[in-house]
Amino acid sequence: MSSRGSEAKDRLVIGNTVAEMVKVVEFVDKFGAAHGIPQAAINDLNVCLDELLNNTISYGYDDEVPHSIAVDLTLAADLLIAGIEDDGKPYDPRQGTPMPSSGTIQSRAVGGLGLHFVKTLMNEVGYTRTGGNNVVRLVKKLWREVGHGNG
């Protein structure tokens, strides 16, 4: 892992097709391995990025024109921070469909479960609309000291 106080950053730009999403998993895995990030945190981030990117690619564009989606990773102190920037339709993932509190998975309406995972697995989910782009920020705390539990 990089030393405390230093910061590691990397960026990947993909196209707006589902086939490009495999590159994100490889990017996150490589970043995690290079910086000694716990595998559980990498797995959580991959689940969240898969959900958010799939939503953007599937529902964010009204045209068939290629678009670019940027994924940024930053490791700062004990925080793993992921950013997603796209030029799709405005969409704030924090305002997603709320999870019903009762009923079985089969009886629930479609939607909301993936965003529930994102909100549960990350310590912070942020959103801004800047210059015609959606900018989502995910923060995962990495507990590295004994006695703090899992990140």
Q: What is the pLDDT of residues 46-102, one digit of tens each?
A: 999 999 999 999 999 999 999 999 999 999 989 999 999 999 999 999 986 554 445
**Domain residue ranges of the chain, discontinuous segments joined by +:** 7-141
**CA dist 34 → 10, 27, 83, 107, 140 (Å):** 11, 11, 19, 43, 17
Name residue 7's beta-bridge partners.
76
Specify the pLDDT at position 29.
Answer: 98
- Taking residues 139-148, what's their average pLDDT? 69
Specify the pLDDT at position 126.
Answer: 97
Residue 6 has pLDDT above 50, yes or no: yes
Specify the pLDDT at position 143.
Answer: 77
Q: What is the CATH number of domain 7-141?
A: 3.30.565.10
CB atoms within 10 A of CB 6: 10
Residue 36 has pLDDT above 70, yes or no: yes
Tell whether pTM > 0.85: no
Mean pLDDT for all residues in the chain: 86
Specify the pLDDT at position 102.
Answer: 52
Q: What is the pLDDT of residues 19-31, one digit of tens each?
A: 999 999 999 999 9
- Residue 141: which pLDDT band, with cuts at 50, 70 and 90? very high
Per-residue exposure over 84-103, b if at least 16 CB sit within 10 Å of its own CB, e if not: bbbbbeebebeebeeeeeee
Specify the pLDDT at position 119.
Answer: 92
